A = this chain, B = another copy of it.
Amino acid sequence: MAHFDLPPEQLQSYRAAAPAPADFDAFWAQTLAEARRFDLNATFTPVRTPFVTVDVFDVTFAGWAGQPVKGWLTLPRARTGRLPCVTEFVGYGGGRGLAGDHLGYASMGYAHLLMDTRGQGSGWRQGDTPDDAPGAGPQVPGVMTRGIQSRDTYYYRRVFTDAVRAVEAARAHPEVDGARVAVAGVSQGGGMALAAAGLCDVQLCLPDVPFLCHFDRAARLVDSFPYAEITAYLKTHRGRSADVFGVLAYFDGVHFAARAQAAALFSVGLMDEVCPPSTVYAAFNAYAGPREMRVYEFNRHEGGENVQALERAAFLARHWQP
């Protein structure tokens, strides 16, 4: 069915029922504290690209457990003063790509730090960051169930920590205005943006068709990957669903949204079978800061694409070019 999820009028007020785990904040406070024991050690090495309008830097910073995480920082070549900065996260399976692949935000005059995602970066764009995965038990292919045996070993604990550290890396650059930092991303990138916005203080949050929200509904509603990695795991590991959803509750965008204060611009595709609209609205309706939604009624997971890019540009301009 084309519009397979709740009808639009119900979506607008849809909320997930389950509260965050009682020690959600403590878990994350401790996780970040542990990560911050390592020096951030952000380095920005200029790289040669074919482009004359921007400067690109190869970024390395200490992510989870101090492990090196890669990224690209792209700055407009013609720049003065400290720049507002978009910290962007990548969709499932992709990596940071090549230097100069990301011209958009820098061409608008902003700094742009794109974080590589550990262990991914092979499905549709190259990545360069390993995932050291200690103690990760059996899993289905992909990363959705890597380390899902406990909240401590779960893959996204490392990734969301990286994301927070990426924001810190952006702020560590002398040409970035730390007061004007946005987090952004599409799909998994949107889920990471929500996590970052819930875990650290940023000004703006731009999650498009965000993934990693309302896991327990998604896994029962859709057959599509990557949520279906969870279902595949539970198919084999029968009787572990309470444990698994118990772990996932510490990584649910709905709970990060409820903690975020940044002004947010969401988007959703009403035919999205990958990140179904009710899961996106569950995060949106829980979002604690000021929030706007752009709805794409006849789109699947591609969402708004270049039309949403203009929406994002206008949203940033409203905040950054007053």
Residues of chain A at the chain B interface (Cβ within 8 Å): 1-4, 50-54, 76-78, 93, 95, 97-98, 101, 103-104, 106-109, 119-143, 145, 219-223, 228, 231-239, 241, 271, 296-300, 302, 304, 306-307, 309-310, 313-314, 317
Mostly, the A contact residues are loop
CB neighbours of A106 from chain B (8 A): 53
| Contact among B119, B138, B306 for A119, CB-based, below 8 A | B138
Q: Are B137 and A237 in contact (CB under 8 A)?
A: no
Query: A132-B136, A137-B130, A219-B2 known; A297 and B122 CB under 8 Å?
Result: no
Q: Are B139 and A142 in contact (CB under 8 A)?
A: no
**Bound state CA distance, A120 and B232, in angstroms?**
12
Q: Are A138 and B132 in contact (CB under 8 A)?
A: no
Known: A2-B219, A98-B306, A130-B137. 18 other contacts (CB 8 A): A1-B222, A2-B231, A51-B107, A51-B108, A52-B76, A52-B78, A54-B107, A93-B140, A103-B104, A119-B138, A122-B139, A122-B236, A124-B236, A126-B138, A130-B138, A132-B133, A231-B298, A238-B296
Min distance, Cβ A275 to any Cβ of chain B, angstroms: 14
Please tell me how many copies of the chain the complex holds.
6
CB neighbours of A101 from chain B (8 A): 306
CB neighbours of A130 from chain B (8 A): 135-138
CB neighbours of A103 from chain B (8 A): 103-104, 107
| Contact among B53, B145, B239, B307 for A54, CB-based, below 8 A | B53
CB neighbours of A238 from chain B (8 A): 296, 298-299, 304, 307
**Bound state CA distance, A130 and B120, in angstroms?**
19
Residue of B nearest to A7 (CB): B220
Q: Are B138 and A95 in contact (CB under 8 A)?
A: yes
CB neighbours of A120 from chain B (8 A): 138-139
CB neighbours of A145 from chain B (8 A): 122
| Contact among B108, B219, B231, B233 for A50, CB-based, below 8 A | B108
